[in-house]
Structure 1
Amino acid sequence: MAGFLDRAKEQAQRGLNQGKQKIDEVQAQRTGHDLLKQLGAAYYAEKRGAGTPEATQQALTAVEGHIATHGDAFLRT
């Protein structure tokens, strides 16, 4: 009986870890998409005369930092 419970506990723990990993991936994708939106808005504002090159560069740096940390998978979705 103890062996069964140990296996069940291990399986439950694996499921929890997989779920947490998926949540982390989804959150990283959402953050990446938000950063891309901010970059687009900064670029648009700059081209319309309402923004600055510095704001566009800051947004680009944020996207590049996110890619360095989490990869670029969010660019393909």
Structure 2
Amino acid sequence: MAGFLDRAREQAQRGINQGKQRLDEVQAQRAGNDLLKKLGAAYYAERRGNGTPEETQRALSALESHIAANGDSFLH
């Protein structure tokens, strides 16, 4: 009986870990999408004369930092 409970506990823990990993991936994708949107808005504002190159560069740097930390899977 103890072996069964140990296996069930291990399986439940694996499921929890997989769920946490998937949640982290989804959150990273959402954050990447938000940063990409901010970059687009900054670039558009710059082209329209309402923004500055510095704002665009800050948005690009934030996006590049996110990609370095989490990968670029959200771009595909």
**Shift in Å at residue 49 of structure 1?**
0.2
Is 1:74 aligned to 2:74, yes or no?
Answer: yes
Aligned-pair Cα RMSD in Å: 0.2
Partner of 1:43: 43
Q: Which runs of 5+ in 1 are unaligned?
A: none
**Local SS of the residue matching 1:50:** coil
**Shift in Å at residue 40 of structure 1?**
0.2
CA distance in structure 2 between the partners assigned to 1:64 and 1:15 by the alignment: 32
Q: What TM-score do you get using the length of structure 2 for normalisation? A: 1.00
**Shift in Å at residue 72 of structure 1?**
0.5
Partner of 2:3: 3
CA distance in structure 2 between the partners assigned to 1:25 and 1:8 by the alignment: 26
**Shift in Å at residue 44 of structure 1?**
0.2
Partner of 2:23: 23
**Shift in Å at residue 60 of structure 1?**
0.1
Number of residue equivalences: 76
**Shift in Å at residue 68 of structure 1?**
0.2
Report the identity percentage: 76
Corresponding letter in the other structure for 2:7: R
Q: Which runs of 5+ in 2 are unaligned?
A: none
Could you list the structure 1 runs, at least 4 aligned residues long, displaced by more than 4 angstroms after superposition: none
